Structure 1
Amino acid sequence: MSTSKKRARDRNPVGGHIRVAGGLATIGLPYTRDIGAEVVQVFVANPRGWATPRGVAAQDEKFRAACADQSIQAYVHAPYLINFGSHTAETAERSVDSLRHSLRRGRAIGAPGVVVHTGSATGGRARPKALAQVRERMLPLLDELHDDDPWLLLEPTAGQGSSLCSLVEDLGPYFDALDRHPKLGVCLDTCHVFAAGHDLAAPGGMKKTLDELVSVTGKERLKLIHANDSKDVAGAHKDRHENIGAGHIGADPFRELFRHPATKGVPLVIETPGGKEGHAADVARLKRLRDG
């Protein structure tokens, strides 16, 4: 590998969300190799359920050791059902248990961060009331984290329904509700932020969005990027991922993303269609944009 390409790889590892059903190590490690991933993201529980499985210690250790040996970071994505802004007490309580489980499992496999969706104000409740509940339920979980524990990474959504956080500016009140906690970071999904209304495909659109993110959250809060193109136009509020360069964002904005100072050292994880072959192609495409 040339010196310039090594510098580029060190700057932004590129990888994907990998399949691990059947074993983190048994299934996850071969999938990581097959798509050429330098960073991965995994579920440690059913993403559409409330179960909190203990995991298998031998699988955890083998997976963690292999990732360490190959300098691969492994992030955890918390289940989709989590919503700290829910008007339903049972959902709010289960959200606490589920996120605590993801953080604990993230610690077990050495994950630098755990991603959680920012949720919505359901039941017609006002945003300030929902954010007060976010503070009540989520801040204690942040306070439980030690320096060597995973970061909690907020992922804004595409702006459907009564979303609490979709536009970059929405991160301001969310961060304030959580006292801008030192273990709080951001996972920026390019499809989500595009669908929410930030036109990344417009000239300078990626730079403008990343500049605003730094202004709203502060420096070095961006810890992970979900690199996804979009099947729909900017502002459509539809969370429909497309392969890199095949959607309405296009490839060039990702080249611009790699060169923004806010993304220095920040890993990119794809969540695109197409199975293993599609994932391998998108990882390779992003590496070319990074290294070119």
Structure 2
Amino acid sequence: MSPRRLSPARLRNPVGSHVPVAGGLAKKGLAKARELGCESVQVFVANARGWATPDGDPREDEAFRTACEQARIPAYVHAPYLINFGSHTPATATASVNSMRHSLRRAREIGALGVVVHTGSATGGRTRQTALAQVRELVLPLLDELDRDDDPLFLLEPTAGQGFSLCSLAEDLGPYLDALDRHPRLGICLDTCHAFAAGHDLAPAGGMKALLDELVAVAGEGRLRLIHANDSKAGAGSRLDRHENIGVGRIGAAAFQEIFSHPATEGVPLIIETPGGKDEKGHGRDIRRLKQLRRI
């Protein structure tokens, strides 16, 4: 897979956070990112739990894009959680396409490198094969629309395995990518909490390396484009998506250190989505912890 463009960041793995943007992408979002010491950033461009597709503020978009470029901060968009390309409900399937198209357009407007979307589930009692056929029908046209040099990548985020998940384990990425013809605009966003909950035991020494090795074997080199670095409140194989602060949960800090030495993560940013705690101080602590692990 050839990248759309290289991340402008000079660091091997820029560490950052998902930041709130109510009040303005640049005015509020980047202010929070600077406060936390972010080297990378992720935002929503719509209600995370709704179908609205709001227009952006051109002045905020320009300020956000310019500031990220000048500070060499790679930015990403997370698509709304309601999106499910495998849904048996026609209204949900249609809304998912419209919502994702909106996130992709807004990502281009703010200079984001990729849009993260959950891989969804097979609902209504349908088989995985039937649901994946619908994923192909709905998603391939969206991928083919990404024909501009400044278009973002379409980043698939496997889930924690709850319900009738279409993609949670690394091995599930093979059929999912095949359904989409392994399109060159497709990338992977690995969420460490999701992978752990789905059944990849990352806590023992070498656990994270084994997952990354398998991911490369299944998806191919260069597909991994973003990592959501989250510890887990629940155990391996629990299928519970319960994020915890770095080193406090069941995964442990040592596993995150393995991320920084694996060849597949070269140039891949890390974004935390961990509990903030009082005044969101937990986010700052997690970013500092990951930076310490990176130095080691």
TM-score by structure 2 length? 0.95
Other-structure match for 1:86 = 87
Within 5 Å, give how 1:17-56 maps onto structure 2: 17-56=18-57
Task: Name the amino acid aligned to 2:169.
Answer: L
Percent pairwise identity:
72
**CA contact under 8 A between 1:118 and 1:154: conserved in structure 2?**
yes
C-alpha separation between the residues in 1 aligned to 2:188 and 2:175? 14
Task: Quote the offset at 1:21 in angstroms.
Answer: 0.9
Other-structure match for 1:177 = 179
C-alpha separation between the residues in 2 aligned to 1:171 and 1:135? 14
Which residue of the other structure, out of 242, 259, 265, is the alignment partner of 1:257? 259
Kindly report the root-mean-square deviation, in angstroms, between the aligned alpha carbons of the 2 structures.
1.0
Task: Name the amino acid aligned to 1:51.
Answer: A
C-alpha separation between the residues in 2 aligned to 1:248 and 1:179? 36
Task: Quote the offset at 1:107 in angstroms.
Answer: 0.2
Other-structure match for 1:11 = 12
Structure 1, residues 225-263: CA drift from partner, whole Å, max 9, x if none?
Answer: 000000011000000000000000000011111100000
Structure 1, residues 58-100: CA drift from partner, whole Å, max 9, x if none?
Answer: 0100111111111011100000000000000000000000000
**CA contact under 8 A between 1:186 and 1:224: conserved in structure 2?**
yes
- Does residue 278 of structure 2 align to residue 277 of structure 1? no
Task: Quote the offset at 1:203 in angstroms.
Answer: 2.3
C-alpha separation between the residues in 2 aligned to 1:123 and 1:277? 41
Task: Quote the offset at 1:148 in angstroms.
Answer: 2.8
- Does residue 288 of structure 2 align to residue 289 of structure 1? no
C-alpha separation between the residues in 1 aligned to 2:75 and 2:276? 21
Which residue of the other structure, out of 200, 204, 207, is the alignment partner of 1:202? 204
Task: Quote the offset at 1:9 in angstroms.
Answer: 6.3
**CA contact under 8 A between 2:205 and 2:254: conserved in structure 1?**
no
Other-structure match for 1:111 = 112
C-alpha separation between the residues in 1 aligned to 2:46 and 2:276? 23
C-alpha separation between the residues in 1 aligned to 2:194 and 2:72? 28
**CA contact under 8 A between 2:61 and 2:109: conserved in structure 1?**
yes
**CA contact under 8 A between 2:111 and 2:150: conserved in structure 1?**
no
**CA contact under 8 A between 1:114 and 1:150: conserved in structure 2?**
yes
Other-structure match for 1:232 = 234
Structure 1, residues 121-149: CA drift from partner, whole Å, max 9, x if none?
Answer: 00110000000000000010000002431
C-alpha separation between the residues in 1 aligned to 2:282 and 2:107? 27
C-alpha separation between the residues in 2 aligned to 1:9 and 1:235? 36
C-alpha separation between the residues in 2 aligned to 1:204 and 1:62? 42
Other-structure match for 2:155 = 153
**CA contact under 8 A between 2:10 and 2:72: conserved in structure 1?**
no
**Unpaired stretches in structure 1, ≥5 consecutive residues:** 1-7
**CA contact under 8 A between 1:167 and 1:198: conserved in structure 2?**
yes
- Does residue 243 of structure 2 align to residue 241 of structure 1? yes
C-alpha separation between the residues in 2 aligned to 1:9 and 1:86? 40
C-alpha separation between the residues in 2 aligned to 1:138 and 1:188? 20
Task: Name the amino acid aligned to 1:140.
Answer: P
C-alpha separation between the residues in 2 aligned to 1:32 and 1:129? 42
Other-structure match for 2:61 = 60
Structure 1, residues 151-175: CA drift from partner, whole Å, max 9, x if none?
Answer: 0000000000100000000000000
Task: Name the amino acid aligned to 1:91.
Answer: T
Other-structure match for 2:193 = 191
Other-structure match for 1:3 = none
**Unpaired stretches in structure 2, ≥5 consecutive residues:** 1-8
**CA contact under 8 A between 1:9 and 1:291: conserved in structure 2?**
no
Other-structure match for 1:136 = 137
C-alpha separation between the residues in 2 aligned to 1:177 and 1:184? 12
C-alpha separation between the residues in 2 aligned to 1:185 and 1:118? 12
C-alpha separation between the residues in 2 aligned to 1:218 and 1:25? 35
**CA contact under 8 A between 2:45 and 2:77: conserved in structure 1?**
yes
Other-structure match for 1:5 = none
Task: Quote the offset at 1:29 in angstroms.
Answer: 1.4
C-alpha separation between the residues in 1 aligned to 2:131 and 2:287? 37
TM-score by structure 1 length? 0.96
